[in-house]
Amino acid sequence: MAKRGRPKKEIDQKEFEKLCGLQCTLEEMCSFFDCDNKTLEKWCVRTYKKNFSEIFAVKRGIGKISLRRAGFELAKKNPAVHIFYCKNYLGMTDKQEITTANIDDQTRNEVNSLVESINDYEADENESD
């Protein structure tokens, strides 16, 4: 008995994996292979026994590795990229943490009194000018 229907769309597996590595979307890949998303989904199931999103999650890791490698190389030459990598991968920070000391009521009253005396002195000096 002869097969019925349209022949299955042939998609180059190496090209598909390269596009995953470049983080291409499903729509972009469909444009590249000149097919619709259902066709690409069926091809993924036929080829990998998994759906597109499962395959994409694995295969895009190759692109992330390449991107990371390029970023580390660029960090050697570009201070801004180097700082970015240090902050994001080494946990370094340029935030200044300010801590306050707890003071007792007597010290607080003495400081307030001193501040009032300085303010009174400055007010007297301004009036005499």
Q: Domain segments of the chain: what residues?
A: 13-95+103-128
d(CA 51, CA 66): 24
Distance from the first to the final alpha carbon of the chain: 113
What is the C-alpha to C-alpha distance for residues 101 and 78, in angstroms, rounded to an integer? 40
Two tokens, residue 111? 């400081």
Write out pLDDT tens, residues 6-54.
Answer: 778 889 999 999 999 999 999 999 999 999 999 999 999 999 999 999 9
Q: What share of the chain is helix, strand, coil (3-state, %, to 5)?
A: 70, 0, 30
Residue 66 CA from chain centroid, whole number = 16
Residue 129 binned pLDDT confidence (cut-offs 50, 70, 90): low
Whole-model pTM over 0.75: no
The answer to whether 34 and 11 have CB atoms below 8 angstroms apart is no
Query: Dihedral (C-alpha) 21, 23, 25, 26: value to the nearest 10 degrees?
Result: 20
Distance CA 77, CA 117 (A): 56
